Structure 1
């Protein structure tokens, strides 16, 4: 199951992140600052990502109201790490923002997969706050 989820995550992620990266490049080409463009694309990606991750990738049937705050928290973590990478490597050290954003997208996608699989959309046996199978309270 984990392998199938990862394959779906990669395929959906390539499509979604490819479109979002193209939007990022378009916005920066239109003179929107790199940090603002990243904020816009992450915001759009968060909404689309919740739908795709819940319904397509992890096929989560658990409580959507419980998963949503965890999802937003996971994306907030990814956002802060992405913002810090752009600020440090592009704004402070002068690396091309296009390269920094491309690298951050790849690294943070892997971090995000782990958070989504094990914390945001866990399987019933490993759900957040559940006890181990067969355990008694």
Structure 2
């Protein structure tokens, strides 16, 4: 449990820094007329790129193959993106809730989902993902 707690704390710090900046950018983009879903989509791509290195090296201390890990990382974010987009569609477009609140809550929901995906799949350290002899792809 100690290892998982440390990973969660490091992941949380990376996420807080990243999502804080990205949420402010989201609010700025939507305040100048960019649609909520377009703003979320643009910033989602930025978030994936900026957090991969920190989560791989620092949060999870993963030394597996770079390319294969990045593919799984992108796939996990694609899942998170789909959930986030569906929530905006349902809760904002259909139910009329304020997009600022929905997106703020979704940051937390997606963060929890992504931690689980990264812990259990992307950066797992079992025999199916070798870490003893890292390869750089």
**TM norm structure 2:** 0.89
Correspondence for 2:35:
33
Is the 1:58–1:117 Cα contact (8 Å) retained in structure 2?
A: yes
Q: What is the CA distance between 1:118 and its match in structure 2? A: 1.1
Correspondence for 2:133:
none
The one-character-per-residue Cα deviations of 1:50-106 (angstroms, maximum 9, x if unpaired) are 111111111111101110111110000000000000111011110000000011110
Q: What is the CA distance between 1:128 and its match in structure 2? A: 3.8
Q: How many residues in Structure 1 have an aligned counterpart in Structure 2?
A: 128
Correspondence for 1:2:
4
Q: Which segments of structure 1 move beyond 6 Å, counting only runs of 4 or more?
A: none
**TM norm structure 1:** 0.89
Unaligned runs of 5+ in 1: 131-137
C-alpha RMSD of the superposition: 1.2
Unaligned runs of 5+ in 2: 131-137
Is the 2:26–2:39 Cα contact (8 Å) retained in structure 1?
A: yes
Correspondence for 2:95:
93
Correspondence for 1:65:
67
